[in-house]
Each structure stands twice: as C-alpha cells, then as structure tokens.
Amino acid sequence: MKFYILKNSYAYLIFNVQFRSFIYLSGMAISFMQRKTRPFLFYIPFTVYFSIYIIALFLLWLLVNKQAHLPESSFTAIITLLLKVTFATAAFFLLFSFITTLIPFVYIWLVKKRGKLVCNFGLTENNQSANGIPQMALSIAPVVKPLFGFLKFRLRYNHENFSPKFQPISQSGFSIFQKKYSAVFSWQLPEIREYAVQEGWIYFEDLFQFFSFALSLPLQEQFNYPPGQKNIPPVSIPANKTDEDNHRVDELKKVEGEYLNFKHFEGQDDIRRIAWPVYARSRELVVRIPETLDTYASQVYVYTSCYSGFPGENNSPVGKHFLNWYKTIIWNLIKDIQEKGFRLTMITDQHPHPDDPQELTELQSLIITQEWQLALSLTDFVHVQNASAIIISSLCPVEQVQDLMYRRKETTLFILVKLSTVIRRNHLLHLLSWLFIQQEKNEIEKARTAWTLSLNRLAILDNEKKLQTLFQQNSKTLIL
C-alpha cells in the first residue's frame, strides 16, 4: 500500500518525468555529438592497425629487453642488436608507407585546391547488380595511387549518415601513375527508400594500411533503393467498372457468371450444358459454369496503409526492417496487378500522388517514399465502398480493421502482410546455430536483436494474432 502511494505520488511522477527527460536528452545530446564529431575522425591519419602494430612492437621491446639482464654477455649484446635491426626495419617500412601515401595525398590536395579535380559519381548504366543492389560508378582524375597501397572511399548520404569505408572495384588497369581512377561498387543500403549522396571522402592508404589520409570530395547523387523481387501467391482482386468507359483492357476479366470452368453434373442442371467431349475422355459428367464477360471491369483501387499503432517501433531497426518487408510485398503485389492489365489506382496514406501514376517506376517511387505514420488512421483514410483491395500490416490496430470489415463492400479484398514472419526469433535450434555460427553484422541481425529485446514485441504479436483470427473469420481476405 505504501509502495502504491509512493508510486502514484506527485513527487514520484515529477521525478519520473524529469529523470526520463534527462535520460532522453542526454542520449540525444550524445547522439548529436557523435554525428557532428564523426566526420572529423575520418581525418585521423593512422588506422587501428597502426596502433596494434605499435603496441605489439612496444610489448616486444618490453618483453625481450626484460630478458637482457645478463650484463656484458653475448646474449644481451645480440638481442640488443636484433632489437635494433627489428626497429630499424619497422621504422624503414613505416617511413616508406608514410611517404608513399603522403605524396599521392598531397598531389590530389594540390589539384583540388587549384580546382582541377574532376569527380564523377552516379548509378551505372545497369543501375543494379545481379542481386538488385544499386551499382555505383565513380571516377576521379587526376589521381596517383599509393605504391602497393589502396584507395578507399566513404560517402555521406541523407544528411548525417555515413557509409562504411569501402574499396571499389577498379576499372582502370594496373598503373602507378594513372591519370584517371574509375571504379564501380555495389552499395548494400540499409533501407528501401530515396537516397541523396551529399559528400564523399577518398582515403589514401599504404601497403600495410597503417596510414590513412582522407580528402573530402564533392560527390552528389540522388537515387532510389528499390524493393527486391519476391514470389507471392497469385492474388485475385475484383475489379470495379471503370469510371470512364474509354479504357478497355486487353484481356478479358472473369466476373460473375463467366463460362470458365466445369462442375460435376447435378440433378437440376440443364442437360444441354453437359460437356460431352469431357465425358468421352473421362466418363465424368460435367456441366459448364455460366460466364459473362465485361471488357470494361478493369479499374482496381488499392489502398495501402502505413498506419502503425505502435509508434515506439516506427524508427527502430525493427520498424525499418518491417517497413522494408512491407514495401517489398506491396511492390510485388502492385507489379502483379499491373501486369494483369488492370487500370490501377494506388492510394496511400502519405504523399498522395496527384498524377495517378500508372508506370511501374512511378508506382515504385511512390512505394519507396512510404514511412510508418500516426497521423492518418485506417478508418479515416480508406474509402470502403470504393476499395478493391486494402493492404494492411501487422502494426495496424485490429479495432480499425474490424471497423472497416464491418463497413466493407462484399467484393473488397483485405490483404494482411504479416510482419513477425520476417524476423525469426532465436529458438533453441537457432541458439545452437548462434553458438557456432557468426552471423553477418547486417541490418537483419540488428533487427533480430532489437526484436528480441523489444518491449512492443508481445503487443505486436498479439495484434497480429487477432488480425489473423479476424481475417480467417471473414471471407475475401488474404494473409501474406
């Protein structure tokens, strides 16, 4: 009881709010400082390998020198000399590394200072490599490569995001004094979204990668990271009659009453409809199902909702990963519908497209720009009587979906994109595999850890389960 009072006291409330604010603001401040100071760290002229090497040499000196306790003996004299030789060799190669890296750096610095540096950066002609990752091309002229060394790059995109340091595949042949450096690289990006590269850095690294001299490059490029290909089951979406009858589809669409299939003969069926050729082949009496053809029933209104009832996850690794998956599924659905020849109208709860995009690239751009949002709820956004299909995610509150289902048109298809299946939690078998296999440190792994630790996980799973039950109880639903 006492505890209850304390927990609900005003003082506790004030303390809790203040404390939470402090933690939040501190975190923000640290994050801000990190973002602001990080670019300066790129200019540190040596690498962590250099530090390891120096420490190793120091330990070597410390340990070997400690052994040389026999004064005036050959042992001491020899190890002292061998240490000298070791350190002289190390010094020579460090100097060699330093000079061979510094010269190309100074050269390009002077060229840049005189405004004669030419940089080109952009997507390659193919745009993507075989696995759908954007492929970028980069060229710089003039440039001198460090002797036996490496040229590496880093990019700044979408304001304060930095790519890891990477080494592109050089397209130039081997030459020390090459005038132009051209290279391509596949950029594995974390999210399906628009990207704007705003700055780049070129790193001159020596043969041992002990020294690293960075120079800022004026690189600019905007591009989209598109959703990938995903096989989804064929979806049959009932089309509406077009608003304007001037759009005729090339393919006839099945509407109610079409002769498309056969069914077994029943007592009430018209015997004139018996398909005798089928009987001749299979000794089964079947009758044709009546069909009607409507060449103008081609308009499909697809509502895609990014409404999230779990704001805590909107910008978390889990939310980002869910969004990638959601966008991929929407994109593949839309592509499928478009390929069937429907006149598609995609209505999103953000950035409504005034021009009613029909081209795939335009639709793709529209999907890519979607984000989880809180502003427009599902019930406010979907025009139920008009909708051919409504795509929702597991983050959509079940109450809103329930409401829509209650008001829906009979033919409207509800599609639920299950998100929990994207991130598999570590079960016992996975734990075993985790013990022995080191997973790649990528976004999926980050999301998996965040998902395991997420406070919203149970609530999301519960919501998803309820949605699943709701979908199973109703007809014209699809769970993906």
Rounded to whole angstroms, how far apart are CA atoms 380 and 305?
11
330: Cβ–Cβ under 8 A, 6 or more apart, which residues?
A: 227, 304, 367, 370, 391, 417
Q: What type of residue sits at position 348?
A: T
Nearest to 209 by CA among 253, 165, 244, 242: 165
Residue 99 within binding range of another protein, rule CB under 8 A: no
Among 72, 245, 251, 410, binds another protein (CB under 8 A): 72
- Give the pair of three-digit tokens for residue 120: 């080109």
Beta-sheet pairing, 299-304 with 343-348: parallel
- Give the pair of three-digit tokens for residue 258: 């079409």
Cβ-based nearer residue to another protein, 47 or 456? 47
Task: Burial-class residue 288 by CB neighbours within 10 Å (0-12, 13-18, 19+).
Answer: middle
Among 14, 29, 70, 260, binds another protein (CB under 8 A): 70
Residue 103 within binding range of another protein, rule CB under 8 A: no
Per-residue contact flags (x/-) with another protein for residues 406 to 425, judged by CB under 8 A: --------------------
Nearest to 313 by CA among 447, 176, 114, 182: 447
Among 34, 67, 220, 292, binds another protein (CB under 8 A): 67
Residue 96 within binding range of another protein, rule CB under 8 A: yes
Cβ-based nearer residue to another protein, 57 or 384? 57
Rounded to whole angstroms, how far apart are CA atoms 80 and 61?
10
| Candidate ranges 23-31, 287-295, 337-345, 429-437; the one touching another protein (CB under 8 A) | 429-437
Residues 456-475 that bind another protein (CB under 8 A): none
Measured from the CB of residue 174, what is the shortest distance to another protein in angstroms? 6
Helix (H/G/I), strand (E/B), else coil: 301: strand
Residue 108 CB: number of other CB atoms within 10 A?
21
Helix (H/G/I), strand (E/B), else coil: 263: strand
Specify the residue for token string 């409507």.
Answer: 294
Cβ-based nearer residue to another protein, 29 or 88? 88
Nearest to 346 by CA among 336, 329, 358: 358
Rounded to whole angstroms, how far apart are CA atoms 343 and 339?
10
Residues 205-234 that bind another protein (CB under 8 A): 207-209
| Candidate ranges 91-99, 233-241, 351-359, 471-479; the one touching another protein (CB under 8 A) | 91-99
**In angstroms, what CA-CA distances link 209 with 52, 58, 85, 250, 362?**
12, 19, 22, 62, 44
| Candidate ranges 72-80, 234-242, 255-263, 306-314; the one touching another protein (CB under 8 A) | 72-80
Measured from the CB of residue 164, what is the shortest distance to another protein in angstroms? 13
Measured from the CB of residue 163, what is the shortest distance to another protein in angstroms? 16
Residue 83 within binding range of another protein, rule CB under 8 A: yes
Measured from the CB of residue 78, what is the shortest distance to another protein in angstroms? 4
| Candidate ranges 55-63, 252-260, 365-373, 401-409; the one touching another protein (CB under 8 A) | 55-63
What Rg value do the Cα atoms of the chain yield, rounded?
32
Among 19, 24, 148, 259, binds another protein (CB under 8 A): 148
Binding region for another protein (CB under 8 A): 49, 52-53, 56-57, 59-60, 63-64, 67-68, 70-79, 81-86, 88-89, 92-93, 96, 148, 150, 167-170, 173-175, 207-209, 429, 433, 435-440
